A and B are shown apart, each in its own frame.
Chain A
């Protein structure tokens, strides 16, 4: 009996020891009526595992450094202001949560890239529900792992590329989750460089000066269900491998060199279920290899796909091309890509055996798109009678356009997606 009670006591002690961190963790409130008037004092007082709750108000404390594993929580969106002179919030600890702040006016410096929130060599950080307003970089991550960035708004007002940083900038990091953020007015909405095994999901990125989302040297990543509108280019994927792109919308990326998505020197990627509407060029492919593009919708774009002649072994399968000015264009005569069973609204063939596959192959490359590619001012003659005549005769007897640029089994009806 006594033995059991000793055992019970030991158990209690052990659990007490284990939980001490939690039980002894303090909650520190920062505000005008409380013991701590400044955030810096509260952080200095805190130990690992503590919670700091910051009450509503404006806090201009210069650079705030979080160097402990704490929960840093704002009540009714307190404002942290960098006064255009400081990086607002720097994190140099692991296991930190930052939630519910309005972080504004960080400094501008091209050498050390200050951000609204900047993480240095950390892991297991959550950044939730913050509003980053008018910072140089919104959220800046370097050498980090296991980071969750969720439901933040990053708003900036950049005019020129060199005057503004990226919304969410990730460098040399791994296992990031970027979910449900709203990004506008930055250089790039989200920027990845040397980032691996990360997922980007349900973000809205619009009116950014350069790209909505930008990958550089970042392998094994995926982005799903994002919305890219009105950026310089929707997404740019460059020098990367094994990127999965699904269910995204690329809309109204208009302009001189604007693309829905710009693919440069990438390989082994996969794309499915995306919608491209009203872009100048929906997809621009340059040095892209082994890329499977299936079940996407290209609607009302200037160019559906611009495939440069240096692309190889790409498969374009089961897509809908509807109401584009040009479905496909290319800059050379070499074609090493496969088109298979797409729906082309410009297809004029027939289907005698009623298997819903057109009996005549479709050549998606019109003569005029080749002419315009080589000689852009020719756009001036677009839809003139002369040009329609040339196009029609080329369709019947291809002579200038490469004859292996062909969909052998064009679909008669659009695919339901």
Chain B
């Protein structure tokens, strides 16, 4: 596994896109922190950028990379290596290289400008989001044999999580505004890793507004240590579930 992993990482680094991604993230982060006079405000600006770009890059790059390495996968399958090992190393290679790019690009300025707890939250959420969308990319690329279709599905999934989901939630809220839906809404956030991450970080930042009316309910859930554990477990489930489905599919797939 180690040798395959090593090969994948070297290949990704040679590709230089991940490098460019890290540099762009660094540019974004350094410039927002130096433009905003208040580190919390900078973090909020950065939050929006990260919640949009990180999933996009992770899902698109991974999908395309998997399709690109289909010949390499076929080659490996012909050798006496377990299929799961191949899939795992591919996943680990992609996830780790993108996560490292995120840490180098955005992590360093965040750690410098923001106090530790918030920075830690932001970094862990950023890394988890990266890995989640790599896992989703694995799923969508294994589901579609056709390259164009697979990439299309990835883009649509990203659109859904980043934009459509919030729109749907907003719509539902207006439709059911006469009912006490606060608690249900907390449950619904679990359906989108991006929303879940955003709320986790906001609870560290906009405490005052979150303390208001319904904010209190969210605070009661996400702010407590149990809520935090549940939220992180949910985020990890967002990695485990898509990836294991893709792994099962890959094992059975006729290449």
Give chain B interface residues in 142-165, CB to chain A under 8 Å. Answer: 162-163
Is the pair A384, B214 in contact by a Cβ cutoff of 8 Å?
A: no
List of A residues within 8 angstroms of B163 by Cβ: 385-386
A279-B208, A379-B210, A381-B170 given; A323·B41 CB < 8 A? yes
Is the pair A323, B38 in contact by a Cβ cutoff of 8 Å?
A: yes
A383-B47, A383-B198 given; A378·B208 CB < 8 A? no
**Interface SS majority for chain B:** helix
Q: Which of A302, A379, A381, A387 has the most CB of B within 10 A?
A: A379
A150 to B72, CA, bound (A): 85
- A230, CB-defined interface residue at 8 Å: no
Task: Give the residue of A302, A371, A374, A388 whose beta carbon is less than 8 angstroms from that of B212.
Answer: A302
A279-B208, A303-B212, A376-B213 given; A384·B166 CB < 8 A? yes
Of A133-141, A251-259, A336-344, A351-359, the segment with at least 4 beta carbons within 8 Å of chain B is A251-259
List of A residues within 8 angstroms of B229 by Cβ: none
A159 to B185, CA, bound (A): 31
Is the pair A278, B208 in contact by a Cβ cutoff of 8 Å?
A: yes
- B124, CB-defined interface residue at 8 Å: no
A378 to B182, CA, bound (A): 9
A254-B208, A378-B170 given; A385·B162 CB < 8 A? yes
CB-nearest residue of chain B relative to A382?
B202
CB-nearest residue of chain B relative to A281?
B212
Give chain B interface residues in 182-225, CB to chain A under 8 Å. Answer: 182, 185-186, 189, 195, 198-199, 202, 206-216, 218
Minimum CB–CB distance for A284 against chain B, Å = 11
- B77, CB-defined interface residue at 8 Å: no
Is the pair A380, B218 in contact by a Cβ cutoff of 8 Å?
A: yes
Give chain A interface residues in 285-328, CB to chain B under 8 Å. Answer: 300-303, 323-326
**Interface SS majority for chain A:** loop
CB-nearest residue of chain B relative to A258?
B211
List of B residues within 8 angstroms of A380 by Cβ: 169, 185-186, 189, 195, 199, 214, 218
A387 to B198, CA, bound (A): 13
CB-nearest residue of chain B relative to A300?
B208
Is the pair B52, A385 in contact by a Cβ cutoff of 8 Å?
A: yes
List of B residues within 8 angstroms of A301 by Cβ: 208
Is the pair B209, A384 in contact by a Cβ cutoff of 8 Å?
A: no
- B48, CB-defined interface residue at 8 Å: yes
A374 to B173, CA, bound (A): 10
A106 to B102, CA, bound (A): 63
- B125, CB-defined interface residue at 8 Å: no
Task: Give the residue of B182, B206, B213 whose beta carbon is less than 8 angstroms from that of A382.
Answer: B206
- B177, CB-defined interface residue at 8 Å: yes
Is the pair A255, B209 in contact by a Cβ cutoff of 8 Å?
A: no
List of B residues within 8 angstroms of A388 by Cβ: 48
List of A residues within 8 angstroms of B216 by Cβ: 255-256
List of B residues within 8 angstroms of A280 by Cβ: 208-209, 211-212
A371 to B173, CA, bound (A): 10
CB-nearest residue of chain B relative to A323?
B38
List of A residues within 8 angstroms of B182 by Cβ: 376-377
- B64, CB-defined interface residue at 8 Å: no
- A375, CB-defined interface residue at 8 Å: yes
Minimum CB–CB distance for A409 against chain B, Å = 24
Give chain A interface residues in 218-253, CB to chain B under 8 Å. Answer: none
Give chain B interface residues in 53-106, CB to chain A under 8 Å. Answer: none
List of A residues within 8 angstroms of B186 by Cβ: 380
List of B residues within 8 angstroms of A385 by Cβ: 48, 51-52, 162-163, 166
Minimum CB–CB distance for A259 against chain B, Å = 10
A379 to B206, CA, bound (A): 11
A303-B209, A386-B167 given; A379·B215 CB < 8 A? yes
A323-B38, A325-B206, A388-B48 given; A381·B212 CB < 8 A? no
Minimum CB–CB distance for B205 against chain A, Å = 9
Minimum CB–CB distance for A230 against chain B, Å = 12
List of A residues within 8 angstroms of B170 by Cβ: 371, 378, 381, 386-387
A308 to B206, CA, bound (A): 23
Minimum CB–CB distance for B115 against chain A, Å = 15
Give chain A interface residues in 368-406, CB to chain B under 8 Å. Answer: 371, 374-388
List of A residues within 8 angstroms of B162 by Cβ: 385
Minimum CB–CB distance for A325 against chain B, Å = 4
List of B residues within 8 angstroms of A256 by Cβ: 211-213, 216
A323-B38, A380-B199 given; A375·B174 CB < 8 A? yes
Q: Which of B48, B166, B212 has the most CB of A within 10 A?
A: B212
A387 to B195, CA, bound (A): 12
Q: Which of B48, B163, B166, B218 has the most CB of A within 10 A?
A: B166
Residues of chain B touching chain A, judged by Cβ–Cβ distance below 8 Å, are 38, 41, 44, 47-48, 51-52, 162-163, 166-167, 169-170, 173-174, 177, 181-182, 185-186, 189, 195, 198-199, 202, 206-216, 218
Residues of chain A touching chain B, judged by Cβ–Cβ distance below 8 Å, are 254-258, 278-281, 300-303, 323-326, 371, 374-388
17 additional A-B pairs beyond A302-B212, A377-B182, beta carbons within 8 Å, are: A256-B213, A256-B216, A280-B209, A280-B211, A301-B208, A303-B209, A375-B173, A377-B177, A379-B213, A379-B214, A379-B218, A380-B169, A382-B202, A383-B44, A384-B51, A384-B166, A385-B162
Pairs A–B under 8 Å by Cβ, sample size 23: A254-B208, A280-B211, A300-B208, A302-B206, A302-B211, A302-B212, A325-B208, A377-B181, A377-B182, A377-B185, A379-B212, A380-B169, A380-B218, A381-B169, A381-B170, A381-B195, A383-B202, A384-B51, A384-B166, A385-B52, A386-B166, A386-B170, A387-B166
